[in-house]
Amino acid sequence: MEELIYKNNLNQDWISFIFFINLIILTVIFKINPPRFKSITLFYSSDIYIKRFSNEKKFNMISAYNILCFIITISTLCLFLILLLEYNYKTLLFAFEYYYLFSSLILMLSSRYIFIQFLINQLKINHNYRIGILKNFINNFRFALFYLIFLLIVNYVEIQNKQFLLFTLFYLIIWVFYQFRILILLFKSNPQQILYIIIYLCTLRLLPWYWFYILILEPWL
């Protein structure tokens, strides 16, 4: 049996509800700023988006629009982990586990963002780093949005595990390419600050995910 989803009606009901909530949030995001939402869904438009919207509210990342985008990104990641665990490890998870994952990721990533902002202010890092953070945020939301559509299809259409994993791997490779593209452009504009970039990658990017796996995911495997 190679179905991706363990077909349990009660379990599928709460997942469908989560998808419905995500749809409502996306509708609100679109209503807040339609041109901005349309721009963010185009893979080639990152630079155009940055030039057009980076100066809004003095480069304020803590806005209703960005917070809702952040929620969609976290929700997509949680749904991916839930569906992956259910099939590959035969672990039947319910709404409580989703909320637990969601809360843990919100806490971890919010804490990381606050810490990064603190370091930027203390080290007086130039504007290019802030642009890099915004580009990273845009790409994460963009990839999460399209992957959420894929997960929605997967939730209602039977698909082989190999197909799911191959698509996810291919999608992940594209995401990594865009992430490295951001880092390379950042390095080109600040070659003398390569040490900051290495520290950022090793500690602020990778370490939180390692502890998330150890403390949250590993007990379920």
> Chain centroid to CA 37: how far?
16
Among residues 197, 86, 65, 202, the alpha carbon closest in space to that of 137 is found at 65
Q: DSSP state, 3? A: B
**What average pLDDT does range 60-79 have in this prediction?**
89
**Is 3 within a domain?**
no
**Is 60 within a domain?**
yes
Run of H or E including 163: helix 161-189
Q: Which amino acid is at 120?
A: I
**Is 212 within a domain?**
yes
**Is 199 within a domain?**
yes
> Chain centroid to CA 127: how far?
23
**Is 4 within a domain?**
no
**Is 1 within a domain?**
no
- Residues 130, 46: Cα–Cα separation, whole Å: 14
Least confident of 40-44, 130-134, 195-199: 195-199
pLDDT above 90 for 145:
yes
Where in the sequence is the domain holding 86, given as residue range(s)?
9-220
Q: What angle do CA 12, 17, 19 make, to 5 degrees?
A: 95
46 Cβ contact partners less than 8 Å away, ≥ 6 residues apart: 135, 138, 139
- Residues 29, 119: Cα–Cα separation, whole Å: 30
- What pLDDT shows up at residue 2? 45
pLDDT above 60 for 90:
no
Structure tokens given for 209: 């995910």
Number of domains in the chain: 1
User: pLDDT digits over 118-127, tens only?
Assistant: 776 766 665 5
**Is 2 within a domain?**
no
pTM of the model: 0.79
91 three-class SS: coil
